[in-house]
Amino acid sequence: MGRSTVFGNLQVFALGASICLFSTIVRADDAADTAKTIARCETCHGSRGDSAFATTPRLNGQQTAYLTSRFRSFRDPTRQDPHAINNMWPIASQVGDATMAAIAKYFSSQAPTPAKGTGPLAAAGRKIYENGAQGVPACQSCHGENAEGKDAVPRLAGQHEGYLAAQMWSFNFMLRNSAAMHPNVMNMTDEQIRMLASYLAGN
């Protein structure tokens, strides 16, 4: 083997080692950034995403695809209600897709808060969820028999009652843009919204 061949092999080896080292550093930086962002999320959404505030949604056990889609949607302030944009746009506009996906995976892997489904309005809410009402389709046809959601369809079981009610009103008045949800809730009364939220709530 000639000197030039040995030197060439050493260059290739050095280049490969440099690429591996750079990739390791980048992955470490990405992991650190993700951890910082998760910690920032948890200041409002609670440890592991189990929010203690009725106006702040629980993220624990939520569908990964839904969380990813929801995070990305905050980049467009014209499609969200003012409260959500005020809190989420500053974060979503600065976080890349890879970090968003990692955050969604983290929160979806946490144990979900169980829905108690109790209270004076819960029984009536269950009927609406399972069978629908006049002008209102059954929620379980999309959100699942146990409100567990699937893929980009969110889990509703165990969510805060106040948050669920607020979102239904946002869909109703088109403050939150959703071609799928607006037709489903536009005919719901205030009482029906409270019934449904009571049934689904875990607090």
Task: Report which of 49, 71, 69, 70 is spatially closest to residue 59, judged by C-alpha positions.
Answer: 49
pLDDT in tens, 55-93: 999 999 999 999 999 999 998 888 788 888 888 988 888
pLDDT at 202 over 90: no
pLDDT top residue among 193 and 79: 193
SS3 state of residue 33: helix
Asked if domains 9-45+59-108 and 122-200 share a fold, the reply is: yes
**Would you state the structure tokens that stand for residue 143, as one six-digit string?**
């959100």
Residue 32, pLDDT score? 81
In sequence order, what DSSP letters do the residues of 69-130 get, joined into one string?
HHHHHTT-GGGS-HHHHHHHHHHHTTS-HHHHHHHHHHHHTSPPPPP---STTHHHHHHHHH
Query: Model confidence at 18, in pLDDT bands (50, 70, 90)?
Result: very low
Residue 83, pLDDT score? 82
Q: Output the average pLDDT for the chain.
A: 86
pTM of the predicted protein model? 0.82
The ranges assigned to domains in the chain are 9-45+59-108, 122-200
CATH architecture of structural domain 122-200: Orthogonal Bundle (1.10)
Average the pLDDT over 178-201 and give the result: 95
Which fold is adopted by the domain 9-45+59-108?
Cytochrome Bc1 Complex; Chain D, domain 2 (1.10.760)
Average the pLDDT over 110-126 and give the result: 90
